[in-house]
Amino acid sequence: MPKRVQVVLNQSVNKLGYNGDLVEVAPGYARNYLIPRGIGVLATPGILRQVEQRRAKEQARLAAEKAGAEARKVALQTIGRFVVSKQAGEGESIFGTVTTQDVVDAIKAATNQEVDRRGVSLPEISKLGFYKAQIKLHPEVFAEIEIQVAPL
């Protein structure tokens, strides 16, 4: 009886692996738990080819997603400056602050692009003027834009 068997996971298993991973487990664990519940299948050459094909498709999808984020970055940086209007008081100080939602709304109005507000990082803005903001479009793609805070 073999000490370990190779199994391809159909679902992510805590502390074992993710969907599509090739893992080595004890034969009893595979025979009594993973395979009957459909969590994994024994690794055969045909199954391994299917896993490689799935991985290639997933990598192509991720590359296309990154390329789309790069295109959005270029579009945002081409425009360069977005205007956020706020009510101002004495000494160019504004009432309230500029929020990430204000920046997202300004981008939406200017470019008609949806940007997730959780990916926007702003400096502390309390006066009128120009500020730099960083937008996370993809885990590897960041765009830096300029925000102009103008009076209403």
CA–CA separation, 138 and 42 (whole Å): 35
pTM, rounded to two decimals = 0.69
* Closest by CA position to 135, among listed 84, 73, 59, 82: 73
Check if the beta carbon of residue 98 is closer than 8 Å to that of residue 149. yes
Per-residue pLDDT at 1: 63
> Which one of 63, 84, 100 terminates a domain?
63
> Which one of 22, 45, 63 terminates a domain?
63
Query: In whole angstroms, how far apart are CA 49 and each of 35, 103, 130, 147?
Result: 19, 46, 54, 50
> Which one of 45, 63, 81 terminates a domain?
63
If asked whether residues 52 and 91 sit together in one domain, one would say: no
Could you report the average pLDDT of every consecutive run of 10 residues in the chain (152 residues)? 88 92 94 94 92 92 94 88 89 88 91 89 91 92 92 87
If asked whether residues 89 and 130 sit together in one domain, one would say: yes
CA atoms within 13 A on the CB side of 72: 21
If asked whether residues 110 and 83 sit together in one domain, one would say: yes
If asked whether residues 58 and 70 sit together in one domain, one would say: no
Range of the domain at 14: 5-63
Q: Which residues contact 38 (CB under 8 A, 6 or more apart)?
A: 10, 11
